[in-house]
């Protein structure tokens, strides 16, 4: 923290590690599933349990602030490793270690930690250590010294690197992490373990980070930002008239999904992406063009991606529902699409698709009531 000596910070860090030593030792064995969370300490902390132990031991091993690691994990996955299943961008685990044609942080983590790729995909402790190792590698490349590594605010450029994105999207990723550090985090893992990050004042050091670029607004929906998808991921024009709106879930983070649709290797896209925390909307394909999002319905539909994962209802916030419903209402009115469940559908309801989104946790009754005003 700013204003505290390096030695004092290291002493505090060592003290916090003692509180989780037992669980960290269990993680070091790399065997067995995550244990049940221990009872929360009487002082209201959340220092026990395997994931807290992994964050603490990874922070100590790679000299990355524990709360930076936790904020990255929360922003990527809400602390849910999804049992080793990949995200839309082929990212794995709590720290979303990626293996796709454009990024190989999963393989990088394996080289840095000595852990096999298969373990990094499925083992939460190994995955968190892998994410910390990759972040430390970026910090070293940027020239952060020991004192700077102890300063939470110094990690902004490394976080833009970790995003795998460029320009404004990379800054969006880092800004999201710092918003969690500023507001604090109180969350629970699928196994019931409590993870906390204490709110603080932040002033990230943005020197050396990618330039944000001009903030362009959408021409189709004035409340949305405009960040175009790569030309390989959509087709100009339409072969059919618009008659439906398709609701999707990203299976990944907001910034990560925007970055993926900008990747020419993805060959997928959506017209709009909606953020979980505050309902922010980014448009990536013009309404008049054909996004690659729903196979048989591509030419006749508009696609809206919602940040999150199908099996985790914590992503589907009131802000997201209200923002998305306002967008859907606007699109339906602008293009003459009836505001009913025959024309506003889930990805899983489109013929010829094998996806399950938005899934059973999506509240269609609430959403349609909001769409109809």
**Catalytic choice (240, 305, 342, 349):** 305
Q: Which residue has tokens 């189709």?
A: 220
Note if 76 is an active site residue: no
E strand or H helix that includes residue 181: helix 167-183
Residue (of 287, 309, 297) closest to 342 by Cα position:
297
Residue (of 25, 132, 153, 27) closest to 70 by Cα position:
132
The Cα–Cα gap between 318 and 179 comes to: 18
Paired with 244 in beta bridges are: 301
Helix (H, G, I), strand (E, B) or coil at 289: coil
Helix (H, G, I), strand (E, B) or coil at 24: helix
- Which pair of structure tokens corresponds to residue 126? 């190994």
Question: Is the separation of the CB atoms in 301 and 278 below 8 Å?
Answer: no
Residue (of 101, 95, 19, 98) closest to 62 by Cα position:
95
- Which pair of structure tokens corresponds to residue 205? 């050091």
Question: Is the separation of the CB atoms in 291 and 229 below 8 Å?
Answer: yes
Residue (of 178, 168, 257, 181) closest to 209 by Cα position:
168
Q: Catalytic positions, please?
A: 305
């Amino acid at each position: 923290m700013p204003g505290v000596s390096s030695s004092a910070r290291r002493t505090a860090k060592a003290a916090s590690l003692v509180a989780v030593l037992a669980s960290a030792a269990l993680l070091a064995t790399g065997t067995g599933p995550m244990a049940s969370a221990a009872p929360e300490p009487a002082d209201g902390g959340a220092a026990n349990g395997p994931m807290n132990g992994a964050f603490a031991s990874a922070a100590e091993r790679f000299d990355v602030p524990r709360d930076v690691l936790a904020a990255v994990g929360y922003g990527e996955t809400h602390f849910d490793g999804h049992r080793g299943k990949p995200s839309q961008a082929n990212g794995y685990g709590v720290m979303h270690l990626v293996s796709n044609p454009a990024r190989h942080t999963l393989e990088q983590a394996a080289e840095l930690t000595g852990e096999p790729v298969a373990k990094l995909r499925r083992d939460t402790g190994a995955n968190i250590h892998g994410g910390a190792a990759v972040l430390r590698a970026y910090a070293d490349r940027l020239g952060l010294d020991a004192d700077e590594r102890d300063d939470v605010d110094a990690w902004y450029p490394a976080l833009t690197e970790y995003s795998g994105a460029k320009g404004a999207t990379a800054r969006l990723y880092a800004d999201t992490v710092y918003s969690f550090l500023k507001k604090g985090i109180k969350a629970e893992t699928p196994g019931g373990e409590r993870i906390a990050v204490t709110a603080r004042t932040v002033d990230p050091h943005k020197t050396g980070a990618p330039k944000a670029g001009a903030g362009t607004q959408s021409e189709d929906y004035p409340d949305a930002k405009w960040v175009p998808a790569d030309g390989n991921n959509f087709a100009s024009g339409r072969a059919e008239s618009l008659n439906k709106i398709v609701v999707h879930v990203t299976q990944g983070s907001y910034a990560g999904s925007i970055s993926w649709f900008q990747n020419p290797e993805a060959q997928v896209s959506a017209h709009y992406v909606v953020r979980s925390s505050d309902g922010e909307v980014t448009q990536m394909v013009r309404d008049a063009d054909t996004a690659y999002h729903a196979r048989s319905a591509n030419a006749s539909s508009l696609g809206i991606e919602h940040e999150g994962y199908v099996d985790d209802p914590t992503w589907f916030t009131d802000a997201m529902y209200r923002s998305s419903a306002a967008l859907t209402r606007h699109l339906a009115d602008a293009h003459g699409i009836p505001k009913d469940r025959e024309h506003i559908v889930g990805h899983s309801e489109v013929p010829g698709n094998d996806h399950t989104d938005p899934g059973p946790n999506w509240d269609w009754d609430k959403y349609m009531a909001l769409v109809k005003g």
